Chains A and B, each alone.
Chain A
């Protein structure tokens, strides 16, 4: 029964039917509808299944900054590289981070080729085993991600404390979704110049399993933009688009939840509790492309300071050097498309990423390269 459910979600038939309904509704609305999908997972679904092409002329998708690897600023990549250079350090992180180029195009992968001990983790809890097996080394987990990976890092730190580990540290780069959405809505590009008009948002699905749908209620209300939380199958996204256009037609702006199979209004309270136990808000944090955003990221709180790599290690970094022709920043802000970049495809591609947006499958450049190169 459940397997069948997922099959239905991936089938093409209902997508066709929805296409007709969406187009009819947009015609009634009277103009092109601009929707920002915040989350890179949605960008991937939209580009892979050609939903943007299917709805061309009716719905314009503006790709949002919801890709943790893409928004990691170069200064943080440089920090990871600098920490990994230390002789007594084993640096652990999630896979995609390894390939993000830092200043002078140096990535963790390059450093690993030079013989530094850098490990790719599937679960951050694997860092505990590594720390136990290497008592003479300092194991650093370079943590990145939105609310979907933060509680895991909290569990790691709590377990490290329970194990009494003295050689495990965490660099927190965890960022917060609502802060970024608010920043986008407040951006002068949107408010004053009308350059990237956004009529509505497709809200992140997996982030919302943790934080729930409540945090978006403020945006819908304050900025009068519909927000529909969506799943990641093509049918999910089509249904979310339909729900958005319906709201626009009926002059409503509220938070609706298409992804009820995994998202509850309150979210995952246990995960929220664990996050709150270990982390506190940073005054500000830099996002690639978006600049410094107030209260948009988390740091380890003083109770768990012993595990905070930023407190334990002294690192002096020169100012970061961006690749002069990479326009990731603009792609992340939604004001340029990947294909506007001179480097797109050649020389920048997934096996030789020159910017962060080409690295992970949630990055817009990566999705365009995989699914749009021939067209």
Chain B
């Protein structure tokens, strides 16, 4: 029950809910806990029927970049 699932927003509704999709399954989730606005195409983390956080895309990509750098750095240091 503690599993949160990254899901894609496919429709934003009037009543502060959204239709989201993850692994091919669509669900209606509440947006009552989100601090930011979301629009179609955004990714959110869904937990027991609520979107609890919007994906910070820049950070996500940044962390992947950092990760790659880290590995390169490792390679260099081990080559010494």
Contact = CB atoms under 8 A, between A and B. Distances in A.
User: A and B: real partners?
Assistant: yes
Nearest to A246: B70
Contacts of B29: 123
Interface residues of B, number: 35
A5 B61 contact: yes
B1 A96 contact: yes
A272 to B, nearest CB: 10
A261 B43 CA distance: 10
A31 B19 CA distance: 49
Contacts of A149: 1-2, 47-48
B12 to A, nearest CB: 17
Contact of A261 (B27, B50, B59, B71): B59
A206 B60 contact: no
Given A24-B78, A209-B52, A152 B71 contact: no
A41 B2 contact: yes
A163 interface: no
- Interface of B: prevailing SS: mixed
Contacts of A239: 67
Contact of B33 (A6, A155, A263, A264): A155
A104 to B, nearest CB: 24
A146 B2 contact: yes
* Among B8, B32, B34, B45, residue most surrounded by chain A Cβ atoms (within 10 Å): B32
B56 to A, nearest CB: 5
Contacts of A180: none
Interface in B13-66: 27, 29-30, 32-35, 43, 45, 47-50, 52-53, 55-57, 59-64
Interface string A278-294: 00000000000000000
Contacts of B78: 24
A86 B35 CA distance: 40
A361 B48 contact: no
A129 to B, nearest CB: 12
Contacts of B8: 2-3
Contact of B71 (A17, A68, A124, A362): A17
Interface of A: 1-3, 5-6, 8, 14, 17-18, 21, 24, 39-41, 66-69, 94-97, 122-126, 144-146, 148-149, 151-152, 155, 206, 209-210, 239, 242, 258, 260-264, 268-271, 274, 360-362
